[in-house]
Structure 1
Amino acid sequence: MDDLSHLQKSVLEKYTHLAKSLHSLDNTIKQLNANKHEESPEQVLQQLREIEVKIALAGTLFKGSVYSLVLQKNGLQK
Structure 2
Amino acid sequence: MELSPLQRSVLDKYETLSKSLHNLDETIKNLRENSSSESPEQVLRQLREIEVKIALVGTLFKGSVYSLVLQRQVIQNSRTYGDR
Instruction: Quickly name the TM-score band, shorter chain normalised.
Output: 0.5 to 0.7
- CA deviation map 1:10-67 (0-9, x unaligned): xxxxxxxxxxxxxxxxxxxx5x726322211000000011011101100100000000
Which has the greater radius of gyration?
Answer: 2
Identity of aligned residues (%): 71
Tell me the matched-pair count: 50
Query: Tell me, which stretches of 5 or more residues in structure 2 are unaligned?
Result: 1-26, 78-84
Q: TM-score, normalised by structure 2?
A: 0.52
Larger RCO: Structure 1 or Structure 2 (Cα < 8 Å, ≥ 6 residues apart)?
1
1:37 is the counterpart of 2:36: yes
Could you tell me which amino acid in structure 1 is paired with residue 47 of structure 2?
L
Query: Tell me, which stretches of 5 or more residues in structure 1 are unaligned?
Result: 1-29
Q: How does 1:1-78 map to 2 (within 5 A)?
A: 33=31, 35-78=34-77
CA RMSD of aligned residues (A): 2.2
CA–CA separation in structure 1 for the residues paired with 2:75 and 2:66: 14
Q: TM-score, normalised by structure 1?
A: 0.56
CA–CA separation in structure 2 for the residues paired with 1:47 and 1:67: 30
